[in-house]
Structures are given as C-alpha cells and as structure tokens.
Chains A and B, each alone.
Chain A
C-alpha cells in the first residue's frame, strides 16, 4: 500500500542545533515533494518544493534533500530557534492533481 511516513514522536532539540526531520514514502514515484509548517490552530504554510531531479534545495536556514532511490526526503533547520517550534509536514504528488500529506513531525526547540 502507499504510505508517507514521518516520525510521529516529537523531536526535541536545543536552540542553535540543527534539526533533521525525515519523510519516507513507499509505492509512490513523485515528481515533486513539498514541505509545510503548521502552527497550532493554523493552516499549513508552504516552505519548500524539491523536484525529483534535484538532490538538494536551500532557503535561508532550511535545507531539503530528496533521494528517489531511498524514497526519502530530509528536512534540516540549521541554527534552530524556539520560533521554529511547530509541526512539519511533508507532501508529495502521486499524480498531477493531488498533493498527499504525511502525518507530520512536531519539533520543539528549547532555549
């Protein structure tokens, strides 16, 4: 069956460290993979998109990798801050009409 899996346990890290979140998928061959941030009581907000022919994408303190062989994307936040605390969702496109979301990983950055 098709699955998108993110670590369901919260990730707790200290301010200033690099947070690394994992997104694994099975039985999909997506052309694109996206990452979103969701704060409590708010809608998801788009962060980054990476294409299947791109290995890595960066935006300020964010970095995303996409390994189509391992069927995995890693999302890194460098020099993390308490304001980065949120739930991070990965999403992929199994076809041209849909965006399917993973279950999300909650990140907590402590001062």
Chain B
C-alpha cells in the first residue's frame, strides 16, 4: 500500500539513450515533484506540478521533460542521457503547495546510472 511509488528503482543505461521514470501517488494530493539527489547527497528540486499544471521548472536542461497525465501521476522522461545525469531521482507529493506548510511524502527513489 505504498503512498508514493516510483519505477524503476534502478536504471543502468548508456550515454545518449532516452529513459523514463514513472511516479504514482495514492494519497489524493494535488502537488507532485521531482527532486534530484547527487553523489554528495544534495537534494535539489527539478519540477513541481499542481493539479497537472507545471508550477516550478528549476532551470533544468530541456532534455528533461516531465509529464503529468493526471494529478496522481508524474513521469520524467530524459533524452540523450549524459554522464552527469547519474543520480537518484525522487518523486514526492504534498497536499498543500510545499511552501504553504505542505509536508512532502517521498518515493523510494530511482537510481539512474549512465555509463
């Protein structure tokens, strides 16, 4: 009965490939996020969607394209993967917008390794 679930958990791929990570939440939340955690464990926001509308795009390269088909799903597609894209990608959701005292519920992460 996982609240925020991401697939796949691990992804190993070659430079130049295109890959997707999927996220689903069953909490009924309106807002969903993608965060990237690098090798130094720094957690950096990438995107935020509120009720399928993009509200944050943190100067992420346009090789990264989020898609929210409905408010329970937020997927991340990455084109032309580069070595620097290797990281753990976390999906999260919140009822209120994050800055409005909304606590975040995180998924378990998707570890992407680009060779």
Measured CB to CB, the residues of A under 8 A from B are: 31-32, 34, 36, 41-46, 49, 51, 87, 89, 93-101, 103-104
Instruction: Tell me if B109 is interfacial: C-beta within 8 Å of chain A.
Output: yes
Which residue of A is nearest B98, CB measured? A99
A44, B103: Cβ atoms closer than 8 Å:
no
Q: How far is the CB of A25 from chain B (nearest CB, A)?
A: 14
Please give, as numbers and ranges, the residues of chain A lying within 8 Å of B100 by CB-CB distance.
93, 96
Check A97 against B48 for contact (C-beta < 8 Å).
yes
- B102 neighbours in A (Cβ, 8 Å): 99
Cβ of A44 to closest chain B Cβ, rounded Å: 5
Bound complex: CA A111 to CA B51 (Å)? 47
Is residue B76 contacting chain A, with contact meaning CB distance below 8 A? no
**Is the contact region of chain A dominated by helix, strand, or loop, or is it mixed?**
loop
**B41 pairs with A49, CB closer than 8 A:** no
- Say yes or no: A43-B106 contact (C-beta < 8 A), given A97-B56, A98-B45, A100-B45: yes
Q: Which residue of A has the minimal Cβ distance to B41?
A: A104
Please classify how large the interface on chain B is, using the bins under 10, 10 to 19, 20 to 34, 35 or more.
20 to 34
CA distance A87 to B44 in the complex (A): 16
Residues of chain B at the chain A interface (Cβ within 8 Å): 4, 35, 40-45, 48, 55-56, 90, 92, 97-109
B1 to chain A, nearest CB (A): 16
Within the complex, the shortest CB–CB distance from B4 to chain A, in Å, comes to: 8
Given A43-B90, A44-B43, A101-B43 in contact, is the A95-B99 Cβ separation under 8 Å? yes
Contacts of A100 in B (CB 8 A): 45
For B90, the chain A residues whose CB sits under 8 A away are: 43-44
Q: In the complex the two chains form, is A99's CB within 8 Å of B41's CB? A: no
Pairwise interchain contact A103-B101, C-beta atoms closer than 8 A:
no
Contact call B97/A49, Cβ cutoff below 8 A: no
A31→B104 CA distance, assembly (Å):
16
- Across the two chains, which residue of chain A brings its CB closest to B50? A97
Closest to A30 in B: B99
Bound: A70/B102 CA distance, A: 24
- Contacts A43-B109, A89-B43 given; does A32 touch B101 at CB 8 Å: yes
